[in-house]
Amino acid sequence: MTNWGTDNLTQFLERVHSNQRANVARFPQPYRLMHRMDECLSIVGKNLVKPEPVMTGILLLRCQYAYKTASGMALAGQVVETFVMLRSCLEYAGYALAIFKDPSLQEVFMSRHVSVEGMKAQKDKFRISEIKKVVGGFDRRLAELFEEFYERSIDFGGHPNPHATMSAIEIGREGNNGTVLTLALSTEPRVLLHAMKSVAQVGLTTLFIFQHIFRAKFELLGINAEMNALRREHL
């Protein structure tokens, strides 16, 4: 059995943790925004009481956990993988809103693996184009932001794409030959700031989506006031 700290994986994990701590100090303002967004999601998550439909609460918690993971990845320098998680954040929030609008979709969601027909129905009802329409039915501007950030998440990591592939490489020269180094952990400030700002923007977008589902709770817990303060910071 490999001793902890002597293999590639544990060394990588230790580097991840080291980068996270360093980048919290290096980029205090972006971290503060990510932290405030997480606090909002966490407070709502801790105060869920018999959400209806029940999947709206479950999906909020999954969104919160994906958001924490995206934050950790951005701080570590895993800039490509950050956008994989941001796509998940948006989908969890969007699916929750669709189920809130039409509670019968909860059964469609849960029947995905029951039969071939169930799989097809779930895919049809929860296509991202359908989710965008649902968001637009509540708030047109929110739907525009949802689409913008969703497409960004696809371009920068949610799918293998040029932006994703090229945002974490270093091009150099060795003798007469060019070299390309694919980075696991980026340290480039511009790239890190893009990832961290995107985390904050997606976090705020998901909060505004969940606000439509848990409106009274958001008001009672003071989340609305914090969201409006965050919005004024031009996210």
> Which of helix, strand or coil describes residue 4?
coil
Residues (pLDDT < 50) of the chain are: none
Longest pairwise C-alpha distance within the chain: 66
pLDDT of residue 203: 97
So what's the pLDDT on residue 235? 61
In the prediction, which pLDDT does 155 show? Answer: 95
Q: What is the DSSP annotation of 90-146?
A: HHHHHHHHHHHH-TTHHHHHHTTTT-HHHHHHHHHHT-HHHHHHHHHHH-HHHHHHH
Q: What integer pLDDT is reported at residue 215 of this predicted model?
A: 96
Q: Is 179 helix (H, G, I), strand (E, B) or coil?
A: strand
Whole-model pTM over 0.75: yes
Rounded to whole angstroms, the Cα distance separating 130 from 135 reads 9
Give all domains of the chain, ordered by start, each with its CATH number.
8-103+139-231 (1.20.120)
pLDDT of residue 174: 63
Q: Which pLDDT value is given to residue 232?
A: 87
pLDDT at position 134: 98
* CB neighbour class for 181 (10 Å; exposed up to 12, middle 13-18, buried from 19): exposed
pLDDT for 182 equals 85
Q: Which pLDDT score is estimated for 131? A: 98
